Structure formats: structure tokens, C-alpha cells
Structure 1
């Protein structure tokens, strides 16, 4: 049947229970009972649970407090594969028309298409592209309602297939569950995972799975969105842990480690006795499990052989009793359908006996496995280990205490950002407030506007924040605002209006935040953007929300926004002005350039920060840091670079340029010093030693010599 009734469809889902989605269910219910625009287009990223909501709607019909307007709705799921399985265009069309007729004849019917993209593609490939138009016409005529389910990545393609969809259906964007709702869902699903793997799951493992998959969103192989990411991580961690624990039982590993660390001989002997007993019992248990498994495999093989033998015997006896030339049936022929021959009965008895033994053995195997898993429990550490394998992030980094990271944030930033102590302290404190303070405020998590000369640490601050808060500089997403100088730049950010080319694709900014709703967004050189773009920024900074061209609301509440501007550059670069005078003049120019309502959105202008010119001693410190990085990088090859402080001072004095800032000096090292090291490695890969870099004040360059160890 191409239409599956709701109750039947729900019965196919074992232990279904809708948790943490009450608000979503209430919203789609209210849409379905409207008079107009009462059909739905459900969309969301893969793994977020788009298909769960209609199932929840069906399940809610059985609850006593569900509104009658929803109870009377008759839900039908379309079996797309069944409808198009024949490949015959005419037959498919006939079956489709019968399906529509049934929906029209059923009062309060709702058609649910679980994968609209697949449906449209199958209809097109079989020459039935008109199917969607027929469904739309029926919806328009109020014959029945429709719920279309579309994944985010297919939404633009669906709109291209049928442009009327975006106008006719009420778009409902299914957002990722967060907080208690996310924990509730993952806890519920983890129960079925625990039953499948036969291993208990500690509450801390679930918390860590949610934490890691929410913080590190770009990790591969874990699904597109929550809760699927956390569920996938738990499933993978359970599989890995089960395999490892059955080879190296945690209790045996623990006793072995305790023996190695013990200094008391009496204690060591006692632990060794315990270890011997555990190894013996564990070895015996594994042997018993292996024995039951082997018996099961052999018994099933024998059963298949007997079934084949029975089938052959039945065929032979049937041929002997009913030869084609015989016109008269004997008593044996007349009774052959009701009685087994002695040979058949004997084989069937053997099969019956083997099946009983298989069932008994399976039960014994199940008990032995349960005994083997009795002391096993998936903990937080196994989650960290598995996630480290997936992401490539060292487990030591994943295991860092976030509270300690916040406490040490200022010190960590100062280790990378030199000469901007006031700005670093301000940023560190405001980030701590955003992360810890429980006051609910509109707008993004925190927003900054960085002013100052080029190459003094504005972009480096953004990178350092990304590294210290989210564990990876890749969590920093950069927008070069020089690419948004034209009037149509707004359409690039939030998507083109309906009817214009590119409408289906959505906006660059809104799509990015939907994909990465937690992170740091850097908008570089905002003064180059078209003035219309600032209307969007005003909404983001004020409400922390933005609606794209398709109608989806994008949430910026967990985003850190950093904007940089070159306004006031002449003042910052003027050596005749003090830092305070340069800041005041730059602020005056800023006030003349931007509307006050925009500037006030940066925490009442408190988060508009001025970065200072870097004095010579700070520039020298940056060069020493670069040399330290080089030495750390080549240490494994037995190579090091030596550069005396006097050489660094002379080099900085000759090469530091206020206009280029600190960027020019590391660039010189990359261009002139690193090639010498690399060429040495290529020519003498096994030769270890020290490179001595001496600065020539006349030629204004480094002369590098190599001393072999």
C-alpha cells in the first residue's frame, strides 16, 4: 500500500516517545488547525529530528489532553519507494490518482511526504513531474492538507523543482534542541543504545557527549546536528569500548597498573593474587562464550542442511507420487498433502529438536555475555578517547577544565597578544561574563569593535579567542567586508528576494550561522561595506536574530561577533600624537561615520576598543616568539636557531614599519630565514646542529651559518 495510516506507521517504530519537542509540536499543531496556510514545510539540518515531529503528532492523538481539532486529523505517510517501484509511468500515475482520490474522500486527511526531494526526483525520472502540482492543487482546494519534510541541504533544490512550494506552505524551521531538552532526548535514546550494546552508560558520559558535540561542531562522521551528533558519538564510543574491554578487561588493566605502582611488597602479592584469579575467571568466561557461539554457528549450519534435505525429499516424493503420465490418483496421492512420509517426519523432528537447542544455547550465550559486561560501564573518559579518534584533537586538550580555561583566559591571551594589556583584560572579562552570567539579554553572546593601526593584534585577538574558548582557530569564521561594497551585498548575506536568481540558495551569513551556531565571527574592515549592510548588523547586535530570505530565523545568541575598522588610521600612525589623543580623534571620526544606534549596540560603546601602537620592546618580543616557534617546530629534527637579543634589536629598528605593523617582521623571517633551514633539511636530512643568525647592520640582513653537532 502506498499510503500508510498513522497508527500503522507509528507501530513500526519501537519504543517511540517524543521528548523535548513539546514547543515544536504545539507550533505545528496550531498551523494545522488554521483556516489558511495550514500545510507545512518542515525543514532542518540532517539529524535534528524533522521526521520525529509528525510521528509525535500521531502519538499525541492517543493522549487525553490533546485538542480535538488534532485528534480528528487522519495522518497518512506516503511510501515513495512503493509508489515508484514499478518504473512504469502509466501504472505509477494510475496508482497516484487512486491515492489522491482516497485522501480526498477521507475527511481531515493529512498527507506526509518524509523526503520531498526524493519524491520530486522520482516523479521527474518516471515522467510524472506533475505529481507535485496535483498535490498543491488539492491543498489549494482544501481537499486535504500536506506536510512536506525537507532537509536543509535539499531545500534550495526543492524550491527549484517547484517554485510554488515556498509560497503555498508555511515554513517551519526545526531548530536543534538545547539545554534540558537536548539532555532529555539523548538520555532517552541512550537507554536503547545501552540495551543494544549490553553495557551501562554513566551519566557523565552522556554529559560529555553532548558537551563535545556541541562545542566542536566540525568533527566528521557524527551527523549534521544535535541530537544525532551526541547519539552517534555515544554509539561509536560504546562499540569501541565493548571491543576493547572484551580484549583487555578494565579490572585486569586496573590491577596490573596498581601492581606496577605499588611499593609495598605485601600489597603487591595480594594484588597479584587478585589479578591471577581475575585472569583465570575472565579466560574461562571468554572460553564459555566462544563455545556457545561456536555451537550456535554449527547448529544453525546443521539446521540449514536439514531444511535443504527436507525440501529435496519433498520434491522427490511429490514427483514419484504424481508422475505426469498418471491419470488415476492413488490413495497415497490423495493423502500426500495431509500426511508426512516417515522420512520427512524424521527430518522435521530433527529440525524441531535443533531449534530448541539453538534457543536454549542462545539464552545461555545471552547470560554469559551479560556476565561479561556486568562490570563494564561507559564513562566520560571513553567518550573523550573516541572523540579524539574522530576529530584528531588530543584527548588532553578535550579533557581540559573549561572553568580553569576561563580563569586563565587573560593570561593565555597575554601569551599571544603583546602590548595590548588593557584590551586583553577587557575582552577576557566580558567573555567570562558572557559564558558564566545567567542574566538573559538580547543580542549575540558578546560583540566588539576593534580600532587601531594595522598589525597590532586585532585579528590575532580573534584567533586567540577562538583557540582558547573553542579549542581551535578554525572556529573563527571571517568575512572580508571589502567583498560587500555593492548595494546588493545584503542579498549575498541573507539571500536574494523571491523571484530573483539565487533565491533558493539562501544567504552566505545566515547559512553559515545555521551550520555553525556557536563560534566567533570576524567582520574585517567594516567601513568598506555598503551602508545597507549596517541595517543587518543593527538587527543582529540588537536582537541576536536574523531572518533569511526564505523565512528561517537564524539565532546569533551563542555567537561572539568581532568587527574591525581602519577608521582613524592617520591618527594612530602619527608619532606626534599620544595614544589618548589618537584614540579621541579616532572616536570622533567614528561618531561622524556611523549612526549612534549602531555604536551603542557594542555594550553601550564599552566594547569599542582601541589597540595601541606597539613600542620597540614589544616588537622585539614578537620576534623572540617567532624564533621560539621555529625551534619548537624543528626540535624533533635536532635543529635549532640562535639569534642574539642585540641582533633582534637592530633588526627591528631597521625593518619595523608602522604602516605594516608587526606583520612585516614575521614575514621577513618566513621569506629569508626559513628557506635556509628547509634547504638544509632537503640536502642533509639527517644532519643535526644549530643555525646562528647574525644581523649585518650595513646590509640590513641576517647572515646565517650552520654549526654541526
Structure 2
């Protein structure tokens, strides 16, 4: 008794479950509650660990990287605690650089893999005799030549950077050896002094020389580390081999863990964000106010000016059916993630009953489906940077809005298992047909924008609670589509049909007269653009499918759609016309 010293470490949950239940065991320990350190404390801890990780990975870790690791992990990695998650960030970022120094850079590996894929495709196409295969082969060979030039340039840059790194790596090895010898000799001297043994003058002299050598090598490494900054203007914009862990490397690791783009924006991305309205208008015709509001929200997020405790943006899209509310969400997902399906879509008609509310955050303990989690919370946990579309929000039960209040105000939501899900990197869009009749009526009567807004505001206030409406950034009115806008949508729909035919080896030419006829037949001020799809499907796609099945169009052929006596006609395209059409389309795309 009194001779055994025991220190244990556990979590609060495990302490309550295993130790607190046993009073006899608990009273033999003195609980010491250790709270999570602050960001400032974490930075101090990381500075103490920095030499150990630099020595282990053989890279330099800048102080700005330590600060970024503490701040970014505290904000974006919500399910773990400091300093553990910040230390892991530093460790992974340093190990990535160390691996890149010893292996082929990622940029070269990606080009090599793409070149291998193209070579395989070219070998297979060389065995084909069709004209379409020869055209494909020519395109692939042109891309292969471009990839080979890019690969040669990257390899030349890599070899040049490796020559400069060889000296630094050898200096680092010398430094590690000098540090080991210094520590060993210093320990031996201290042991002799503690034992009362005399220490020779030669040992002190050697200790001094090792310390001097250690300092000189450290200064050389620091000078080499500063060299890239001085010669930045003469070197490539992006180095393949890096020796310093900066805040950019930390941001890349956080992005890989969470899917949230945090790395410094390249000039190309900045240019895209500045013209984001134009990119969205390539799919969404009209609705300038809605496109501008969504674009501004994304720009605020990527420039770092958004409120860190709220979603990127929260909107209610109001308007008649078929005017582009859902299409704008798809276009936004395509612009941000290069995939229109990269969004979380929930149809609120599935949450009309009170008991269905639990499906959003998960069933309570003891009920079926408790282990599965909620549809909304689980989806956002897996993809925290996304567009959340709540379609036809007016059909949801009123209790659903109580759940959404926390999301809109604080940017977080707790699921049935106690996990707090972060919504601060989501764009929340709710669509509704509330007030669509008023919008339609006022538009037909020639009313101005202010009259429409007053009518819509009255309809919203009658259906939604004030505390819910007050937490939404903007309520955006989508106006009925004009004939001119319907005509422009026809061009978009026809282009999609043409792309589908191109995938099967056919070309399509729809004349201006045929496009005008589609717009005239499909125009409906009440149902918006949806009738256009039915017209194209019934009047164009169905007859075209029959022509293809009858063999009227040879493989690799083309068809021209025209209109005669208010009826659509289908004529095969001559080979010369197909070639000219393909050339014009290629020039237009480029």
C-alpha cells in the first residue's frame, strides 16, 4: 500500500460506463478532468512537437502551417478534438511531402496514367474500319501528342528540382547525425557528473565542436529553405518537389479529409467565380435575380467573408412550375462539383406526417432504424460541402421547420446518436409553389416587381412561421418564362438530344424553322418549360427512334429535322454536310 503509482486515461463516457459504477474502484482514484485545449494552447503544443516531426519526416515545417493546422482543424473537423486532430494534420502533411521527395510526383503520375489509357484506346481503334473510328483515332492521337509534350516538360522540371534537393537531403542527414552525437555525449557527461566522476577537457571540447557543427548545419538548411522564395520569379509557378510544409499543404489535407475546398484559389478558379453568372446562365435561362444571389453566396464563401456559424446561403425559390427552380440547383452543383447530381435532394412530400420528421435526423433509441441515422444528417456528414435541395417545402409537416431552425441559424444539427453535423459549408435551397398563382396573375396584368413581391410575401406569411422566414437569407421570385426565353430553352434541349445521338455515332441538325415550331407548340405560360420536353419527346424523339429502328439512317449517319406544313420532317444528311456540320460544331465548342 502506497508503493504503487498508477495513472489512467479514459474518456468521460467510458469512465461513467466502467469505473463510476464501481464505487470501491472509483474511490481509489482521484479523477482529474482534462478539457480540450484552446486554439492558442494547441499552437504552443505544436511548436513543441515541431522539431520531432521535422526530424522524422526530413522536411521543414513553417510556423504558419502550425497556426493553420490548429485553426482549420478547430473549424472544419468537428468530430475530433484538439490537439489530436491538429497533430494528425501536421503529421499527414509532412508525410505527404516526404513521400513526394522519394517517389514520382503526382502530376507526372496522372499524365502517365492518362497517356497509358489513350495508348490502349488507340490500339483498339486501329483495328476498326469505320469512319467514326478513324475520326476518334485522330482525336486520340492529337491528345496523346499533347500529353507526351506535357510529360516531357514535367520530367525536365522534376530532374532539375531533384538536383537541387540532393544537397539539402545530405545536409539534413549530417544534421541528424550531429544531433545524435551531441545528445549522446551530453548525456554521458551528465551521468559522469552525477556519479562524481571527472570529465575531461577533451570531452568538453568535442561537445562544443558538435554544438557548433549542429548550429552551422541548421543555418545552411534554413538558408536553403529561404532560397525558393528569393528565386520564385525565375522558377515554375508550381514546384513538383517541396521541402516546406506551409499553410497550403495543411489546407490540402483538410480538403482531402472533408471535401471542403480550402486550398488557395488558382487564377483560373478566380476567373470562373467572377463570371459565375454566365456559367449558370448556360443552363438557366432568365431568372437573373436568383442567379446573382446564388453566385454572390458562393463568392463570399470562397473568399472567406461568409459568417462561419451559418450556412453559405439559404434561399427559398418561389414561382410557377417549370421556370427553373430545380434546374438552377442542378446547374449550381455542376458548376461547383462538375456533376449535376452532386447534391442532396429531399422531396418534402415524403415528410407530410408528423412521425416522418424523425427520418431527417434518425429514429430515437429503441425504434426501428436507430442505427441507420437520419437521411439529412448522414448525407451532410458524408459530404459537408454540398447543395441541399428541399423540394416543395410547403408540403412538409410543421415540425420539420422546427428542425430546420437550428440549421439555418447556427449551421449545425444533432442527429439521433448525438453527433453534431456541420452545415456551415452547405447551400440550402428550398423550392415552393406558394404564391405562383399570384405571380402568374400579376404578371399577366402587367404589374410591377413591387406588387409581385407584396403578393408573394403575404402568401409566405400565411403559410410559414415568422421565425422560420426571418432566418432565410433571401426569398427569390422566379418569373414566368417569356416566348423568347422558351425559344432559347429549345436550343438547350436540342443540344442535349444532339449530344445523346453523338454518343451513338449519329449527327443531328435541327433547322431554325423546326426550333421555332417546337417553341410555338411547347409554349405554355402556366407550365413553363416542362411542355417543351414532352413536345421534343413526342414529336422528335419518337419518330426519330422509329427511323433508326427501321434502318432508314445508316450507322454513323446523320439526320436533319425540318418543318413542312406545320409537321416535322426527317431527312438523312449527306456525308459532306455531316463533315461540315461536325467542323462548325467543333469550332463553336473551341
- TM-score class, shorter: 0.5 to 0.7
Contact 1:657 1:664 in 2 (8 A): yes
SS for the counterpart of 1:110 is coil
- The two structures have a TM-score, normalised by structure 1, of 0.48
Contact 2:58 2:98 in 1 (8 A): no
Tell me how far apart the structure 2 counterparts of residues 666 and 180 of structure 1 sit (CA, whole Å): 58
In structure 2, the residue matched to 1:110 is 8
Once the two structures are TM-superposed, the CA of residue 200 in structure 1 deviates from its matched residue by 7.7
Tell me how far apart the structure 1 counterparts of residues 452 and 572 of structure 2 sit (CA, whole Å): 44
In structure 2, the residue matched to 1:120 is none
SS for the counterpart of 1:532 is helix
Query: Is 1:588 paired with 2:461?
Result: no
Match of 1:408 among 275, 285, 291: 275
Tell me how far apart the structure 2 counterparts of residues 530 and 632 of structure 1 sit (CA, whole Å): 41
Q: Deviations over 1:81-122 (max 9, x none)?
A: xxxxxxxxxxxxxxxxxxxxx9x9978753549999xxxxxx
Q: CA 1:459/1:235 → structure 2, altered by over 3 Å: closer, same or farther?
A: farther
Contact 1:652 1:665 in 2 (8 A): yes
Once the two structures are TM-superposed, the CA of residue 417 in structure 1 deviates from its matched residue by 1.4
Once the two structures are TM-superposed, the CA of residue 469 in structure 1 deviates from its matched residue by 3.5
Q: CA 1:185/1:496 → structure 2, altered by over 3 Å: closer, same or farther?
A: farther
Tell me how far apart the structure 2 counterparts of residues 187 and 685 of structure 1 sit (CA, whole Å): 72
Match of 2:561 among 666, 669, 693: 693
Contact 1:687 1:708 in 2 (8 A): no
CA RMSD of aligned residues (A): 5.9
Structure 1 unaligned residues grouped into runs of 5+: 1-101, 117-131, 148-169, 218-224, 250-256, 262-274, 286-373, 391-397
Q: CA 1:496/1:226 → structure 2, altered by over 3 Å: closer, same or farther?
A: farther
Q: Could you say which structure has the higher helix fraction?
A: 2
Q: Mapping of 1:97-246 within 5 angstroms?
A: 110=8, 112=10, 137-138=21-22, 142=26, 239=99, 242-244=102-104
Contact 1:481 1:525 in 2 (8 A): yes
- The two structures have a TM-score, normalised by structure 2, of 0.57
Q: CA 1:666/1:180 → structure 2, altered by over 3 Å: closer, same or farther?
A: farther
Query: Is 1:429 paired with 2:299?
Result: no
Once the two structures are TM-superposed, the CA of residue 468 in structure 1 deviates from its matched residue by 2.6
Query: Is 1:648 paired with 2:515?
Result: yes
In structure 1, the residue matched to 2:467 is 597
Structure 2 unaligned residues grouped into runs of 5+: 78-84, 110-145, 151-155, 167-224, 229-239, 258-264, 577-590
Once the two structures are TM-superposed, the CA of residue 142 in structure 1 deviates from its matched residue by 2.7
In structure 1, the residue matched to 2:220 is none
SS for the counterpart of 1:562 is strand
SS for the counterpart of 1:651 is helix
Q: CA 1:517/1:668 → structure 2, altered by over 3 Å: closer, same or farther?
A: same
Tell me how far apart the structure 1 counterparts of residues 73 and 330 of structure 2 sit (CA, whole Å): 21
In structure 2, the residue matched to 1:309 is none
Q: Deviations over 1:230-262 (max 9, x none)?
A: 97687568656744379x99xxxxxxx9xx99x
Match of 1:559 among 426, 432, 447: 426
Query: Is 1:525 paired with 2:389?
Result: no
In structure 2, the residue matched to 1:549 is 416
Once the two structures are TM-superposed, the CA of residue 141 in structure 1 deviates from its matched residue by 6.5
Contact 1:200 1:377 in 2 (8 A): no
SS for the counterpart of 2:444 is coil
Q: CA 1:114/1:582 → structure 2, altered by over 3 Å: closer, same or farther?
A: closer
Tell me how far apart the structure 1 counterparts of residues 539 and 54 of structure 2 sit (CA, whole Å): 58
Tell me how far apart the structure 2 counterparts of residues 445 and 484 of structure 1 sit (CA, whole Å): 25
Match of 1:568 among 435, 443, 450: 435
SS for the counterpart of 1:497 is coil
Tell me how far apart the structure 2 counterparts of residues 402 and 480 of structure 1 sit (CA, whole Å): 32
Contact 1:209 1:234 in 2 (8 A): no
Count of residue correspondences: 440
Tell me how far apart the structure 2 counterparts of residues 421 and 694 of structure 1 sit (CA, whole Å): 32
Match of 1:377 among 217, 241, 257: 241
Q: Mapping of 1:293-312 within 5 angstroms?
A: none
Match of 1:491 among 318, 334, 358: 358
Q: CA 1:491/1:695 → structure 2, altered by over 3 Å: closer, same or farther?
A: same
